[in-house]
Amino acid sequence: MSEPVRLQKIIAQAGIVSRRKAEELILDGRVQVNGEIVTELGTKADPERDHIRVDGKLLHGAQQHRYLMLNKPKGYVTTASDPEGRPTVMKFVERAGVRVFPVGRLDYQSEGLLLMTNDGELANALTRAAAKVEKVYLVKISGKPSEAGLDQLRSGIMIERGKPGARAGRVMTSPARIKLMRDAENPWYEVTLVEGRNREIRKMFEEIGHHVEKIRRVGYGPLVLDVPPGEVRELSQDEVEDLRKAVRVKSGKAVISKSIATSGAKKRAGISHGPAKKRSRRISTFPRREAK
């Protein structure tokens, strides 16, 4: 007989949603165990003996974990469905033959690296604020910010909390690393964050008086974007293990492997991938120089 397991873990292992989303499903009364609706997050069940249903559908046990990297084009939302009818990133993973979900989000107009998986445990670990997993973006700005303004962003700056117009108050961002990548009237910067607040980069630059024209995520922890827009590839076993290392916890603090965190600016800018691992065709993640 198997040991009882928390419901949210069982649901995440079945590849339905992440553990955090599974908790929301339980609280919303959308989960049943042996015909009874369960709304307590501490409830445990036996995945081999109990009949567990989510939105009326019976779970069939844990799925084989899959880990995909998608180069999300702009104009897609990172949800399974959208009440406004906008296209979602699920379009790009249908042919994978397994249900996966996005880890974190890229907003509708942003593009770049999006991790998708049915491993709820890893997804939950990666999105915890305490994990401090680095996300690297190439950001095109309208106009040239002053060094004083950029230093404000590097130190942390107050931005609006939540969605625009929500009036949820203001919050201080974590310090960011910002590096000029292409000097022009509308320059490109490499921005490295360890959090993922709603439209955070756009709000940060707006606070110092500059509109963000483009955002492309090119790095997520140890992962580096290396597929064309709209394309998907499976992560290698080594890459999955590197992701696990990035969120491994010691003494209550997330530890990021130094070799991973300092893998090099060349990889982050899409200039070189290095000979260590075999990859499919490498593409540049840095935009071509635009005509003046």
User: How far is it, in rounded angstroms, from Cα 171 to Cα 10?
Assistant: 34
107 included as an active-site residue: yes
Q: Which of 28, 50, 107, 226 is catalytic?
A: 107
Calpha distance 18→41 (Å, rounded): 14
- The two structure tokens encoding residue 271: 């200039």
Residues that are catalytic: 107
